[in-house]
Amino acid sequence: MGTLEQGVDLGDAALRRTYRSVGEIAGRIHAHADAWTRPSEFVRPAWDAAALVGDDPAFGRFWEISSLADDERELLMRARSRVRERLPELGPTDLLIHGDLIPDNLLASPQGIRVIDFDDCGWSWASFELVTSLFPLLISGGFDTGSRAFLEGYGSVRPFPEAELMLVPTLVMARMLSYLGWPQGRPEIASQQALVPFLIKVVCERAELYLSNEG
């Protein structure tokens, strides 16, 4: 359906239809997880504050990227500190989510959208599923439209935790910082290294906006 780096190329109506379907799929995944009796040996990682913006984040330490200018690193570390202050407001990560419903992992077929790649399936919040799914729309545009459609689709299956919506900007910032760490954590992936300048620019712009709005 698109890519994480380039976003989704859809008109407004198609974007709404698509992300309503994605929201419905997310709701079905979460409803299944809640009803499922898990075997005792079942273990998955948590997408919590430690994994996203901790001292040893799951994707890598973005602040160790050598091409970061001093002022960029200082800006991003201030954003990280603010994110770490606010994430506890979401409470425990007790919902099993897909964790990576980005366009790369959504296959369009005549029968509808099919989901692949459960590598990042783990414990988190419904709002983290929302933010990760919609993240590419911050690149290509349509985030607000996609968000409304996602929530409509999700709500057709199960109630979305409204209290979590207030923390969406914080989760967007957390997700951005974690993605910036990916090239640092996986230096063997050449295609990711080429994206570093673009990622730094996008994440720094978002950090300035986030800090100005969050005080």
55 compared with 191, residue with greater pLDDT: 55
Residue 61 is predicted with a pLDDT of 94
- 93 backbone dihedrals φ, ψ, rounded to 5°: -90, 85
Arithmetic mean of pLDDT, 7-26: 86
What fold is seen in the domain 12-214?
Answer: Aminoglycoside 3'-phosphotransferase; Chain: A, domain 2 (3.90.1200)
Q: Regarding predicted confidence, which is higher, 8 or 144?
A: 144
> How far lies 46's CA from each of 50, 73, 175, 181, in Å?
9, 26, 14, 17
Lowest mean pLDDT among 12-21, 145-154, 161-170, 199-208: 12-21
Q: What is the CA radius of gyration of the chain?
A: 17
pLDDT for the residue 140 = 80
pLDDT at 120: 95
Q: pLDDT tens-digit profile of 156-171?
A: 999 999 999 999 999 9
Domain boundaries, the chain: 12-214
Q: What is the pLDDT of residues 67-93, one digit of tens each?
A: 999 999 999 999 999 999 999 999 999
pLDDT band at 6 (very low <50, low <70, confident <90, very high): low
Task: Calculate mean pLDDT across residues 166-188.
Answer: 88
* Among the listed residues 214, 2, 209, 215, the one whose alpha carbon sits nearest the alpha carbon of residue 103: 2
What amino acid occupies position 86?
Answer: R
Task: Report the distance separating Cα 58 and Cα 83, nearest Å.
Answer: 16
pTM (two decimals)? 0.91
